[in-house]
Amino acid sequence: MKFELIAQDGRARGGRVETEHGSFDTPVFIPVGTQACAKAVTHKQLKEIGAQIILANAYHLALRPGEDLIAEFGGLHRFMSWDRPIITDSGGYQVFSLAQMTKISDEGAAFQSHIDGSRVFITPERSIEIQERLGADIIMAFDECVGYPCDKDRAAGAMRRSLDWAGRGLAAKTRKDCSLFAITHGGVHADLRKECTESLARMPFDGYALGGLSVGEEWEQTSEVLALSNDLLPREKPRYLMGVGLPQNILDAVEQGMDMFDCVLPTRNARNGEAFTRNGRIKIRNEKYKRDGAPLEEGCDCYACRNFSRAYLRHLFVADEILGLTLMTQHNLRFYMRLMEGIRASIRAGRFAEFKAGFLRET
């Protein structure tokens, strides 16, 4: 993997990441395809929307259909017929949020599968093995995620265990075409974040992610972690803020030097009938849209806005038609792609602050 820093406006950065399966421009929003697909849209639609890279989840794919089966098909790109970059999450967050009867030790995480109740044990080495079998372009170090609030002793223990696991994952990595990112931890405690980030920055990772955020803390606390991390992370490597998806939070994080983002928010909200627009969110089931002939958003170039009215979309949701989910998902993802395109253009033009202010004023 190669990361090129192309432009900088204040702390906001514009760059490009080259991988074995093509490049993507940063700052970038990564649609979530947990089960090797983004819900309610085809891969062709994802490309038309402007998605340059997607995320799949090693935890889910290892449980079903299994990394061995995917490897038989030549890896995740061939299995899912996606010829652009793929990033896989290591599964640390899913062990924290989904797994039952989890027991974490220095060796690894033992848990009960949320699918069939079977016992599973994942070590940092096993996580790397799974992700290399999947063949993603960017893979993540296995980490221990804790929620918020979390006392400092508990946060410190998880942070130091994640540090140890990161080193073990780095030693276990064998494939040169899979770039490995470390994940920083320490909760909202500045001294723990500093210790973790400085330690990981001394290791030869290809990029760095910020984990253990978006777990209940206030955005102001997250922002403090971002500011601290910007000063400590290597300038020449990409920075990935995991699980953050509100547009205003993405803008704030870009302003603090972050390059990569992912979140289920645009697709999940779409399936629940909520559209993101420059004029605020639209809950399409509301009665006021029953005879509304306008598109979801004037000026939007997505397929839904170019062809269908709010009245028709409301009808689809009220009638429980699958097409409604697809059209709304296409719109929300295109909204995010347009946001990132505007961010990138404004950074290169030296006008990011102006772009951010204008966006927030409209929404």
Residue of 89, 143, 206, 252 with catalytic role? 89
**Cβ atoms 331, 297 nearer than 8 A:** yes
CA distance 124 to 82: 27
Residue 314 sits at φ, ψ, to 5 deg, of -60, -45
Q: What is the dihedral of CA 133, 25, 84, 52, to 10 degrees?
A: 120
For the question of residue 89 being annotated catalytic, the response is: yes
Give the closest residue to 331 by CA, choosing from 266, 244, 260: 266
CA distance 98 to 86: 23
**Cβ atoms 62, 34 nearer than 8 A:** no
Collapsing DSSP to helix, strand or coil, 3 comes out as: strand
Residue 55 sits at φ, ψ, to 5 deg, of -110, 135
Burial of 287 (0-12, 13-18, 19+ CB in 10 A): exposed
Residue of 137, 206, 259, 262 with catalytic role? 262
Which DSSP string corresponds to 202-266?
A: TS--SEEEE-S-SSS--HHHHHHHHHHHHHHS-TTS-EEETT---HHHHHHHHHTT--EEE-SHH
For the question of residue 262 being annotated catalytic, the response is: yes
CA distance 185 to 273: 34
- In the chain, alpha helices (H): 43-49, 58-63, 67-72, 76-80, 92-97, 124-134, 152-172, 190-201, 219-232, 247-255, 265-271, 303-307, 310-318, 322-348, 352-362
CA-based diameter of the chain, in Å? 61
Collapsing DSSP to helix, strand or coil, 282 comes out as: strand
Query: What are the distances in angstroms from CA 314 to CA 99, 275, 317, 326?
Result: 36, 11, 5, 13
The count of other CB atoms within 10 Å of the CB of residue 2 is: 10
Active site residues: 89, 262
